[in-house]
């Protein structure tokens, strides 16, 4: 299949417009009528004179549920971050410690998440340091090019 050009030239557009008018002519269409006089002025006059009151929008029940779910997710994320990066027994201690079943399960999940998170953090920090070095090198190269004109340029000849 070849590439198609769906754009009409002005001549083709005028021809298609005339064809449509010829097809609709037996039905008395289209009827050209001038727009109502002072249409824009009447529309503006119909608008309310004072601006709408600006306030906090009311959240519908679904929005409140989504907000509550978001707050709960942030709280759980914070607890997980505390357990993985800080005190492993801390979140488990909120649920009865290692002696309760739920606390023990949370402690196992926290301890299982520490190695992958630590590896990703180490990889991310080294990548971040390498990227920072690359950006600093590019900035130095740019600054040196800006400060010293290239040989043969207009500034170098004058």
SS3 2: coil
Residue 78 has pLDDT above 70, yes or no: yes
* CA–CA distances in Å: residue 107 to residues 73, 91, 101: 19, 8, 10
Identify the pLDDT of residue 66. 78
Identify the pLDDT of residue 131. 73
- Kindly give, in sequence order, each residue whose CB lies less than 8 Å from that of residue 96, ignoring residues fewer than 6 positions away: 102, 103
Question: What pLDDT, in 10s, does the model give residues 107-138?
Answer: 888 888 888 777 777 777 667 677 777 778 88
Identify the pLDDT of residue 105. 83
Residue 63 has pLDDT above 70, yes or no: no
Q: Which two tokens stand for residue 53?
A: 């009151």
pLDDT band with cut points at 50, 70 and 90 for residue 146: confident
Cβ(131)–Cβ(124) below 8 Å:
no
């Amino acid at each position: 299949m070849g590439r198609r050009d769906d754009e009409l030239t002005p001549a083709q557009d005028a021809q298609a417009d005339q064809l449509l008018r010829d097809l609709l002519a037996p039905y008395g269409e289209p009827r050209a009528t001038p727009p109502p006089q002072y249409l824009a002025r009447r529309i503006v006059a119909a608008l309310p004179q004072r601006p709408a009151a600006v306030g906090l929008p009311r959240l519908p029940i679904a929005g409140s549920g989504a907000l509550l779910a978001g707050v709960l997710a942030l709280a759980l994320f914070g607890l997980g971050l505390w357990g993985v990066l800080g005190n492993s027994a801390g979140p488990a201690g909120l649920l009865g410690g290692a002696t309760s079943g739920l606390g023990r399960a949370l402690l196992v999940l926290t301890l299982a998440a520490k190695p992958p998170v630590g590896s990703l953090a180490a990889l991310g920090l080294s990548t971040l340091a390498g990227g920072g070095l690359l950006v600093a090198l590019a900035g130095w190269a740019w600054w040196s090019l800006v400060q010293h004109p290239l040989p043969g340029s207009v500034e170098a000849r004058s």
